[in-house]
Each structure stands twice: as C-alpha cells, then as structure tokens.
Amino acid sequence: MLALMVEPRHDWVFPEPLRLSPELRAAASSLGLGTVAATVLARRGVDDVASMTTFFAPPRAALHDPRRLPDATILVDRIALARDRAERVMVFGDFDADGLTGLAQLVLALTMLGVDAVPYVPSRLDEGHGLSMAAVERSVREGISLIVTVDTGSTSVGEVAAAAERGIDVVITDHHHVPDDRPAAVALVNPQRADSTYPERRLTGSGVAFTVARLLLRELVDAEAEALALADLAAIGTVSDVAPILGENRAIARLGIERMRTAPRPGIAALLARAGVASEGLDLETVGFVIAPRLNAAGRVGEALDAARLLLAQTSEEAAELAVTLESANLMRRDLMRAALAETRQALGLTPPGEAPGQLELPEPVEESVVHAAPAAAPPDVSKGHEAPVSTGLAEVRVVHAQADPHAPAMLAWGDLPVGIIGLIAGRVADETGRPAVIGSDLGDVIRASCRGDGRLDLAVALDACSDLLIRHGGHGGAAGFEIPRARWDAFAERFLRLAAETAPPAERATLPVDLALPASMVSYDLLRELGRLGPFGTGNPEPLVAVLGLTVHRVRAANGGHTQLVLRRERDVLDGIAFGWADLADQVSEGDRVDVVARLTSRAFGGLETMQLEVRDVSASGAHPRAAEVLARARERSSGIVGPELAVAAPGAGA
C-alpha cells in the first residue's frame, strides 16, 4: 500500500549527526537558546562560542571599520574637496533596487554634508548597465565636476577615460567582479578588489554605499550614527541582490528591518500601504516580495528615476503619488513576465510548472540583471535554433530562438523579449531546471543577455572565458550579463554549453536539505519561537526546514490558486498544512495515509486565535527514508521507556 502513495519530489538530505560541545551548550544557554536551535545554527557554521556570541550581539557590533574600504582615504579627501569648492556631484546609480537604494543613501549622505548631489539613473534600454556616455555628456552640460557611481562602474574603462578627458573625476563604488583592466578612476571602492583588506566581501552595491555613507559622515562631520538611519535602504538592496544574510549583511538586515518596522521613511511607508502590508510585521520576505519588485518595476517598464524619487521623498503626499506610479509599473511587469516566460519555456522545450508531475510553481525572483554594457552596432545575423511564435496575450507575437533541449547543461534563449525582464526570466528558468540560464533580448544588431547560475558554474569566470566574443560583460558568480553581436551568438552558445558541461551534472531530482527531523509530537510553539530567533532569514541563512515525521492525513482538499490544504493528525491533536503551488497533491494523498512532510513552521492568526501551520515543501510515505525511519524508531523506543531521557533530548539535535 505504501508503495502506491505519494512519491517525494526531492531527494531529502538529512543533516549529519552533531553533538554540541559543553562550551557551546553553555554559550547557547546563556543566550536563551535551546539545544535544537543551537544545533541548527552550528550546522550552518556558527559552531564556536565567539561566532555564536557575535551572531546574537547587537547589530552595530558586527559593522566593520569603513576606513578599511579600498581607496577610503582618497574617497574622503575628494568628497571633502567637492564640499569645500561647492562642486556639483552626480550620484550615478544602477536602475535595479540595489543601485537605487544605494543611490538614495549617497544622495542623502552628501546632502547632510552640504554637497549639491544630483541623482542620475540611466535608461535600461538606451544606456544599459555601467557608467554611460549620456551621463558624462550631461555632466559636461550642467557643470558637474565629479561623478560617484553606485553598484556599477568597475568595468567602465572607456566611460571613465572619456569623463577624465572632459575634466570630470569619477569615484566608483561597486561590488561586482573587478577585471584585470580596471578603469582609471580617482577611487575604486570595491571590496572585490584583489588588494582589498575589507573583512566583508559579500556586500551588495547598496551595502557598499551604506559603508561609504558611514565613512563620509564619520570622517567629515563626526556623525556616523546618522548614517545608521540609512540601514533600511541598505537592507532592501541587500535582499534584492540576493546576498547572503550572514556577517555584516545580517547586521545591515537587522538594523534595516527595525528601522522599517518602527519609523519607515515616507517612500517605504507608501509602498507598503499600496500593497496592504503593515510595517509592524515586516520581515525580509516582505522586502523581497513586496518592496523590491516594485522598485525594480520602475526600471523594467517605466522610469527608474521615479523609484529614486520615491526613496528620496520627504513628504507622505509626494511618496503616495509616486507609489501609485510604481504600483502600475509592477502590474504591467507581471503581465509581461507571465507572457514572456511562457514563450521562453516553450522555445526551450520545458514543461510549465503545474503540468510536470509534482513540480512546484516558484515565486518570482527579485534579483536584477547585472550586465555592464551599452548598445553597440554589429553586422546583423539570424541565429539558428528552434523558433517558437507564441501569443503573449498582449496583442503581439514574439519569436524566441533556443537550443530546444531541456536536458542540455545550460539553458540559452534569445528573441523579442522585453529587455527589462530578461533577468527575471533567466532566474526563473535556472530555478526550474537547476541549470545555468542565459536569456537574451534582441536589440537589432546586438543581443543583450542576462545570466543566472546554478550554484556550480561561476558565471563571471565563464563570461571572462568568452570575452573575445562579447562587446561587454560583468557581474559575479551567480548573476551576470553581457552584450554580444548577434552574429556571434552561436559561437558563444557552443562555448558556454561546453563550459557548463564541465561542471558537475545536475542530479535527476533536486535535493532538499533538511535542517531538523522530529517526530510530529515534538513540533510545538516553543520550537517555532526558538527557531525564529535564528532570523532574519534569507539567502545563506534560510528559514529552517523541518522533517515532521509520523503524521496521518485527516483531510485534504484542493484550494483556490493552485494550492493544497491539509489537516494532519498526530497523537493528540492536528496540524494544519498548506502546499503552495502543488495543486495535484490533493490527488496523490488520501485520508488515512501515513506521511512524513518537510515543511517550514509558521503560525497564523484568525479570529483572534493563533494556530500553527506547516508550509509543506515535500511529502513522502512515512518512514520511507532510512533516516526518517531511524528517528521514528527512536521515538517509539523512548515512548516505551527503552532509552533514557538524555537520548530523548539529544536525538533531534544530534542524530536527526
């Protein structure tokens, strides 16, 4: 009978046994942390007294000395000179949420210093990523003598040289890959530099801007504390760029969340109000799926400067008006994304989620394209490959070209796709297939492409290996982009596929790491609260996934929106479950089935009552996995009095 039950969609990876040292147990206890949560944390690398103490210390203690940034002294001196000379300074920020929030921070910081700061956000279509010649020419016209970039510029060799020829200095603040051929800027403030001694290399562009703001306000007006009020903007950029929420990024996130919960600036408050979200309950998930997409939407289908204006708004009235504009852009972006993604899937020969057995419909990614390129001319050509004309539902037909092989080591496609959403499409394809994805937009003579990784292939290195074919490229290991003459696409595709094939081949079934395995009877509100102390959660520090073992399906039904609702019985009561995006689960399990689930523990309030809920990620016949069977056997032995209470306490943390 069990063999006919639901099959798990993933290969469950249970944690290796781990016993905490007496010192670490004592440290956890002194911090009010239980053994179970401390064990989860230790498995994530917080495995000594010092690191655990730092993890729970006040976030300001985890911020590093900004004077350790590369070229920090040069930067401070140049800004001081601009202030003394009453120079106009252009703050040039990239058009994604990371660049926009970084731009807002530096505009605000420079304004505090008495500097005339002029925000500039390039057009995604006309200028692309990287410092643009349009910005340089505008600086000449408006008498601007200093440009400070945010989240871009590390590859802008020609543009920096052109600015210098016109008597304009450039200071670059960035976090992307630094090539061997570096621009001759006055300062290149980038922790990715090979000679950087800054302790945290994982900062985003907005995180670098936050550190620069701390540096300037500390050194020039002795007001570093004022810069901490910018942490909300830095946190948004950190989440939107999918940076690991560890180390200094975790500190920025904690400071930013507290700021947005208690004193949101007018622009953030207006965005939350439009989305119907209360600031008091805001977390990083709110940032990633409510705030960041709306900021990004302005650059994708509207005017990115509107998002910058919203972040810089000083009154609620101004912010509310701009929030309406961004909300409209976000709705349009959703429609474009839905249609273009369907076309791309068809061209690649991929089965849409919901049609493939047990495949989960993924939430929209929030990360942004990071290509540093500008349009350029090249001989026209028509790429070979499968063509898939598909109705978009928007009164037009697009043609997408692809190597239509869903089993290829990488997914590559280009065509008449909106340039503003190719990064989103690449992210979705990479998530669905577990392979690197390269999605290009046909600009006529050139193709502008965004890349998203699979965790194995380093995209920055791969594009370096293809640089002789490209006009420009940039980015980092997990997200990158480039522009290429259309005539060279086939040669690029052949080489990129070869590079992707050299990395470890993807497994037939995706893995699902399990943080903790417990008999269902041990799941409690105390456990939920204890695990919650490990937040804020995000990339690098995800919400713990718990294998809840030995449940009985009491009720199951399909719910609106393509979800499945479950009521799961344990020894003395029931737990509610919801499987988002897994509509056919309702046809795979029946009342009375014994199951194990991997889930995120949550709670919900309804009618003034709080109830626990399992957000189900996968389901298996109970005990089908050997490790699950082992944990259940221990639980039975414990209930029979065969083992002592000390093993009962240790089992979840040490052997699950």
Report pLDDT digits (tens) over 397-408: 356 888 667 789
Domain ranges in the chain? 2-54+511-655, 66-258, 343-501
What does each C-alpha distance from 580 to 129, 209, 360, 383, 595 come to in angstroms? 35, 37, 8, 39, 18
Q: Can you give the pLDDT at residue 476?
A: 82
Instruction: Quote the pLDDT of residue 651.
Output: 37
**Distance between CA 271 and CA 163 in Å, rounded?**
36
Report the candidate in 497, 525, 623 with the shortest Cα–Cα distance to residue 1: 623
Residue 640, pLDDT > 80, answer: no
> What pLDDT, on a 0 to 100 scale, did the predictor assign at position 26?
96
Average pLDDT over residues 314-335: 95
Q: What is the mean pLDDT of residues 78-89?
A: 98
Tens digit of each residue's pLDDT (9 = 90 or more) over 543-601: 999 999 999 999 999 998 889 999 999 988 999 999 998 989 999 999 999 999 999 99
Q: What is the structure's pLDDT at 478?
A: 87
Q: For CA atoms 314, 316, 317, 319, give the dihedral sign.
A: positive
Q: Answer yes or no: CATH 3.40.50.10260 is held by domain 2-54+511-655.
A: no
Confidence of residue 3 (pLDDT cuts 50, 70, 90): very low
Q: What is the percent of the chain with per-residue pLDDT over 90, rounded to a whole number?
A: 76
Predicted pLDDT of residue 637: 86
Q: How far apart are the first and last CA of the chain?
A: 26
Q: Tell me the mean pLDDT in the region 65-80.
A: 98
> Distances from the Cα of 246 to the Cαs of 62, 286, 403, in angstroms?
10, 18, 38
Whole-angstrom distance, CA of residue 464 vs CA of residue 460: 6
Average pLDDT over residues 97-126: 96
Q: Compute the C-alpha angle 254/257/259, nearest 5°.
A: 110
**Residue 513: strand pairing partners:** 13
Alpha carbons 581 and 564: distance in angstroms, whole number? 8
Least reliable range by pLDDT among 233-242, 501-510, 642-651: 642-651
Cβ(38)–Cβ(24) below 8 Å: yes
Q: Which of 309-323, 385-399, 440-454 has the highest average model confidence (pLDDT)? A: 309-323
**What is residue 405's predicted lDDT score, i.e. its pLDDT?**
78
Task: Report the pLDDT value the prediction gives residue 441, as an integer from 0 to 100.
Answer: 94
Q: How confident is the model at residue 487 (pLDDT cuts 50, 70, 90)?
A: very high
Give a three-class secondary structure readout of 395-430. CCEECEEECCCCCCCCEEEEECCCHHHHHHHHHHHH
- pLDDT exceeds 90 at position 486: yes
Q: How many residues does the chain have?
A: 656
pLDDT over 80 (residue 354): no
pLDDT band, very low/low/confident/very high, at 383 (cuts 50, 70, 90): very low
103 vs 96: CA distance, rounded Å = 10
CA distances (Å), 554 to each of 377, 417, 585, 589, in order? Answer: 64, 46, 14, 10
What is the arithmetic mean of pLDDT over 343-368? Answer: 60
Q: Which long-range contacts (CB under 8 A, 24 or more apart) does 157-163 make?
A: 157/181, 157/182, 157/183, 157/184, 159/130, 159/131, 159/132, 159/133, 159/135, 159/183, 160/131, 160/184, 160/185, 162/133, 162/136, 163/131, 163/136, 163/139
The torsion of the CA quartet 213, 219, 225, 228, rounded to 10 degrees, works out to 10
Residue 293 CA to its chain's centroid (Å): 11
Asked whether 387 and 442 are in contact (CB, 8 A), the reply is no
Say yes or no to pLDDT of 386 above 80.
no
For 66-258, give the CATH class. alpha beta
- Beta-carbon neighbour count of residue 67 at 10 Å? 14
Asked if 352 contacts 110 with a C-beta cutoff of 8 angstroms, the reply is no
User: Mean pLDDT, the chain, as a whole number?
Assistant: 88
- pLDDT tier at 320, thresholds 50, 70, 90: very high
Quote the pLDDT of residue 372: 35
**How many percent of the chain have pLDDT more than 70?**
88
pLDDT tier, 225 (very low <50, low <70, confident <90, very high otherwise): confident
Q: What is the pLDDT of residue 404?
A: 62
Phi/psi-derived region of residue 540, left when phi > 0, alpha when psi is between -120 and 50, beta in every other case: left
Residue 531 CA to residue 160 CA, distance in Å, equals: 48
Is the model's pLDDT at 645 over the cut of 80? no
CA separation for the pair 201, 615 (Å, rounded): 33
| Residue 578 bridge partners (DSSP) | 565, 615
Assign 353 a pLDDT band (cuts: 50, 70, 90).
low
User: CA-to-CA distance for 138 and 136, rounded, in angstroms?
Assistant: 5
Per DSSP, the three-state class of 102 is helix
Pairing of strands 516-519, 546-559: parallel
How far apart, in whole angstroms, are the C-alpha atoms of residue 651 and residue 645? 10
Q: What share of the chain is helix, strand, coil (3-state, %, to 5)?
A: 45, 20, 35
DSSP 455-493: SSS-HHHHHHHTGGG-SEEEE-SSEEEEEEEGGGHHHHH
pLDDT of residue 398: 53
Give mean pLDDT, residues 262-280: 96
pLDDT of 216: 98
Q: Which two tokens stand for residue 372?
A: 């540093």
DSSP state of 328: H
Taking only the tens place, the pLDDT of each residue in 619-629 is 999 999 999 99
Output the six-digit token pair for 576: 């509610």
pTM: 0.83
Tens digit of each residue's pLDDT (9 = 90 or more) over 15-48: 988 999 999 999 999 999 999 999 999 999 999 9
- pLDDT tops 60 at residue 358: no
Given this model, what pLDDT does residue 271 score? 97
Question: Stretch 359-368: mean pLDDT, rounded?
Answer: 40
- Within 10 A of 63 (CB to CB), how many other CB atoms are there? 19
d(CA 438, CA 420): 14
Does pLDDT of 389 surpass 80? no
On whether the 343-501 domain is CATH 3.10.310.30, my answer is: yes
Average pLDDT on 429-453 reads 93
Highest mean pLDDT of the ranges 246-255, 378-387, 602-611: 246-255
Cβ atoms of residues 492 and 383 within 8 Å: no
For residue 147, give the nearest of 102, 88, 193, 96 by alpha carbon: 88
pLDDT for 506:
61
pLDDT at 616 over 90: yes
